Structure 1
């Protein structure tokens, strides 16, 4: 009956007075019997509002109010007429923001304002993050930590909250000190919470996407998040707000121990329709290699058909994003004939800093964006800005769309069925992808087009390992006090108890693989006399020193299942050259030149290769022999972006920091001079930018612009004063900056 009514609302051209009244009457009945269905029908009525009799708008107004969708009354300029309803509407207006809250948001806010801690599961379009701003605006808490899983999300939050900088100092880097004059908001990943040493008393901690605490979701950063939350709760007994989508329950007993409430709601202000593409084409879609082009054509025809509405296309990997977006771009230019030439400010920057031939230029000119974990942060944030402003029609993305950024579109295409090569998308991930369909307060409805079977619906219960401890990793267990450990007799805990106290403190502080760190301690103890020079370097390492350290990380600090496809030899080589040239652009050009040289060598010498080095060069040339120069360039750019994001800005700095602390410990133990890797570690992590300007990279400003600022900002200026100086002296107006760089600086 409900599905029939929804189809009638969608397909009928017009409802007269009597028909409108009947629909509204059925909706009124459902509010009592099945409020979730009533909400869905009301949202669909609003989507097709022009079809319904306007003389009955007063009835529609009452229905919207009855389900508590107060934001839509303001959006549609519908007026309540009774005193009681007007009082209820005013009650639902935010005390601190110029916005109305819907019924469930208001209830959630009342829970947060009580003495209870709150763990909430709600759909993507619920508006959970609005309540974060509500608390910041209320000035209720002096010191707040907001943990989000990606730097892109944190930057988005920073931009929303920067208007409160008179009340709060916003801290985004571990090198910043807290303010004593006003409050502090820490916008950190879990790793940065664990590294930070200067926390004042923390009143409130918020964890977005808290399902990443689970040991079952195969997230390599779950240990860091558990340790961060555990440390803050144990140290400060802070109030907390954990928020995430589509979760059925959490570890039993957690809410009782921490005076919390688990609040689950299905209330959504957007209705998502499902269209099954898979079943119509099952026979061919089930043979993806044989019918690859067939499936792609179905996708491209669908995208063109819906060109007047924005679409997000889910792809399994960055390689798939690049391939499908470029194939669609070729399809689009063939179909539309008139080549589009949309002008975006980033294109000039790409021409000057990457390559005038990079495919992203052509994609953008055809209103196509890409989003994945490999692109530089300022590029991804710019593409999302373009998409959110409606300047792009299509966005090809990976799982970053689930957890890496807040955006949505009228249409979501569930095209690939895996994360990476082999991990199937489960129902939880599918629900999160689906939740991006329809943009809150812009679209009333969205649509997901399924090119794959919907995964089986399974209950999602999020375990919290530091509390439940079944299972618990060594990296979390080592941070618990004895009275917090639930099984003191386990072999796992016995092993950890055997670690000497001083070693244990270093291992805890580093926060990575316990056994791996113990192996590194033993290896350095064995090597310290014979390989002293390789271990105790300072400032910039030579090749042999870097090779020794990165081999330790590769051997002992890689997690089970992590990809080793890059190879340790290549990783050492890339890292050393990056340190030598201090430019990703130089690395890209060097790689392209070397590959072309190898291809030429391969074509000249195809027999009698005996020397090992020549063999490697020969095989490299053979691999790329059939590729055009533009294809080589595309692959090199993508590979180097991935290496920079994953290795240079994340893994290698962490490895070197861990090994540095261990060599320092062993040297002190033996009474000899230790090395110090921190100078080189900071350079690698921060793209060789001057220390007081590195904070700007957190704000999505390209390093090209930051380097130009080196001439305009004194080296001894405190990093907290850098932004003030840019704003006060209008430094972005300097003629050295490209328009794109100028606009990024103005945003900040």
Structure 2
């Protein structure tokens, strides 16, 4: 028997007792003798997937399978009813503080570093259980101050739902408005949120999830903030844990005494099958997608698409024309979306077909709830972008890679492996399946260059000016001194805002100085349309930042003025969507949602940068602080928007008329929700309840 024959036999419908014995014996020998243990591990996982069938075919084979699992280090899969050596080993791979978790061999190796207080850079597959090691380290080492940095709000939501109920003795801070107390604290946030806090101080445990985003070569415009946070806290933290997937190596570290050990593991407790979807001229791509969805009917399936626009296009061309039908919760949510966001939004159309949509512009409570429905099997399919690929765990059995791009870039092997890793889940889907529309990228090793390790020698000027001076090597320091000599702006200002471009900041300062008496620039308050237009025009022309698909300063002012005059988010979105073209109509809705995201953070930040420059050059009658405060609240009277992160949709928060500064007990919260006209049913309400009440809320028993 060879590997191909063993896999083929395991996929078959007929396995005799003799076949079962030969399969188990081959898996055992293959593990011990194969130079490619990834293949051996994959085969053993497939053996586990057919365990019940094998045991029925060969009495007593369960103990034999457990022996193989013990040798391979797949301790969680050893039968909990087993006895003898296998039972002893399985029990030894658990902890009293985590009685329901059995760690596999590679996890135990990584924990050996972390529980001794050592730092670690860990690269391991998606299904490895890397983030679980964060929880174990906190529980067993009891650090006083923890900082956890995550790249996306979706991953922040996942961490928060896990961390808050598990660590009641800690204050878990996720928002910039939260005030730190005097006890143990966990700061959990995106790099931008962590970067802005001034009350963190010394750190006991510093964590970056998806640390490959530190590498400047990946072209992530948010990497400056992430590198700044890394520079600020890694050197003054007692312990550092960086985790990420499918990374072959990191660059050399100059400081040997403080260097972080790198551990690479390819240990995966889940197997994956890949099927190439062949296209023909007779059958268009959307029709083939529906064919694939039909073959995996009633199975949890993610459909990866390159961009939010692509999710809408797929929703129109494929899902909207399908015969799919949604179930009760999806239908109720679709109706609620029509009533509260937009009567003709494609999200509602897809939900009526039992299909969700997830990307970075979907309101966060809606995104969370769709994931909850998906994981509970109440919707079977989600059209998603990379927002669900970067660290968000689901119960997906299948992943359909419909687009082989991410935005405008071709998928590289690293991103492909990351997407592929979302198929399958321990104990639920031992074997995931990936359907690939297009060719898989060629294999290539990914070395992550962490700029801090080489003193930012290869970093652009904007990054060098943003970093703490102590993080820079001699070459980078000389470049920093040179660029500061060429500017009238202060080092502190560059430190805060250099990510918007050195030349852009200097040019903005020059134009502000020339127009210091222009009433359309030097104003205070919320700003009229004309004042906002002139100010945003300055910013759009000079600064480099994510413009959220807003094409001009005039359009930014238009959106802000329209939002300010709207009585609801639904009114705002419906006023923006006018096109007769179906896709453009949906894009107009998406542009409105994109502006709401810009209003939360990006626009206040660039306005504050402009105000800081004006202050340095002594323009005293310019003050944008009121507008900066109103934009994140979407011009409503209270910060209802902040409840989105806790799973309470913005329209529901308005109907409750509460703000994040109010402290409510669970019974008060439930009473308010019941009295609100803006919720669907008790089950959905329980899912939207704040995690502060996790021990009392039905969400944790649902």
Asked if 1 retains the 8 angstrom alpha-carbon contact of 2:523 and 2:623, the reply is: yes
1:675-718 CA-partner distances (Å, limit 9, x unpaired): 332222122123234556554232132121222232xx5x7xxx
1:236-284 CA-partner distances (Å, limit 9, x unpaired): 3341111000000111126835332101101001001111224xx4xx5
1:358-390 CA-partner distances (Å, limit 9, x unpaired): 332332232211111221111111111111111
Alignment match of 2:438 (pick from 438, 447, 452): 452
C-alpha separation between the residues in 2 aligned to 1:102 and 1:267? 9
Aligned CA distance change for structure 1 residues 315 and 460 (closer, same or farther; 3 Å)? same
SS of the aligned residue for 1:320 comes to helix
With 356-365 and 3-12 compared, the bigger mean Cα shift is at: 356-365
Alignment partner of 1:23 is 2:23: yes
Q: 1:440 offset after TM fit, Å?
A: 2.4
1:171-225 CA-partner distances (Å, limit 9, x unpaired): 1111212120x21111111111111111143211111111110111111101110
Alignment match of 1:366 (pick from 345, 353, 358): 353
- Which residue is 1:610 aligned to? none
Count of aligned pairs? 679
- Which residue is 2:697 aligned to? none
- Which residue is 1:272 aligned to? 272
Alignment partner of 1:332 is 2:322: yes
- Which residue is 2:696 aligned to? none
With 264-273 and 633-642 compared, the bigger mean Cα shift is at: 633-642
Give the 5 Å matches for 1:339-738. 340=326, 342-344=328-330, 345-403=332-390, 405-420=392-407, 422-468=408-454, 469-480=456-467, 484-488=471-475, 492-498=479-485, 503-510=490-497, 512-513=499-500, 514-528=502-516, 530-531=517-518, 533-559=519-545, 566-581=551-566, 583-592=568-577, 595=578, 624=579, 627=580, 633-645=585-597, 647-667=598-618, 673-690=620-637, 695-710=642-657, 713=658, 719=660, 721-724=662-665, 730-738=671-679
Asked if 2 retains the 8 angstrom alpha-carbon contact of 1:539 and 1:677, the reply is: yes
Aligned CA distance change for structure 1 residues 738 and 264 (closer, same or farther; 3 Å)? same
* Bigger radius of gyration among the two: 1
Aligned CA distance change for structure 1 residues 166 and 438 (closer, same or farther; 3 Å)? closer
Aligned CA distance change for structure 1 residues 582 and 666 (closer, same or farther; 3 Å)? farther
- Which residue is 1:609 aligned to? none
- Which residue is 1:239 aligned to? 239
Q: 1:449 offset after TM fit, Å?
A: 1.5
With 167-176 and 542-551 compared, the bigger mean Cα shift is at: 542-551
Aligned CA distance change for structure 1 residues 542 and 356 (closer, same or farther; 3 Å)? closer
Asked if 2 retains the 8 angstrom alpha-carbon contact of 1:578 and 1:587, the reply is: yes
Alignment match of 1:173 (pick from 172, 175, 188): 175
Q: 1:147 offset after TM fit, Å?
A: 0.7
SS of the aligned residue for 2:318 comes to helix
User: Structure 1, unaligned stretches of length 5 or more?
Assistant: 285-290, 596-623
Q: 1:470 offset after TM fit, Å?
A: 4.5
- Which residue is 1:56 aligned to? 61
Q: 1:489 offset after TM fit, Å?
A: 7.8
C-alpha separation between the residues in 1 aligned to 2:149 and 2:6? 42
With 339-348 and 109-118 compared, the bigger mean Cα shift is at: 339-348
TM-score (structure 1 length as normaliser): 0.85
Alignment partner of 1:191 is 2:192: yes
Alignment match of 2:150 (pick from 148, 151, 164): 148
Aligned CA distance change for structure 1 residues 39 and 165 (closer, same or farther; 3 Å)? closer
Q: 1:426 offset after TM fit, Å?
A: 0.7
Asked if 1 retains the 8 angstrom alpha-carbon contact of 2:504 and 2:543, the reply is: yes
Q: 1:728 offset after TM fit, Å?
A: 6.8
C-alpha separation between the residues in 1 aligned to 2:328 and 2:276? 33
Q: 1:587 offset after TM fit, Å?
A: 2.3
Alignment match of 2:132 (pick from 130, 149, 162): 130
Q: 1:464 offset after TM fit, Å?
A: 1.1
SS of the aligned residue for 2:689 comes to helix
C-alpha separation between the residues in 1 aligned to 2:234 and 2:80? 44
C-alpha separation between the residues in 1 aligned to 2:509 and 2:165? 47
SS of the aligned residue for 2:382 comes to strand
With 217-226 and 512-521 compared, the bigger mean Cα shift is at: 512-521
Aligned CA distance change for structure 1 residues 727 and 224 (closer, same or farther; 3 Å)? farther
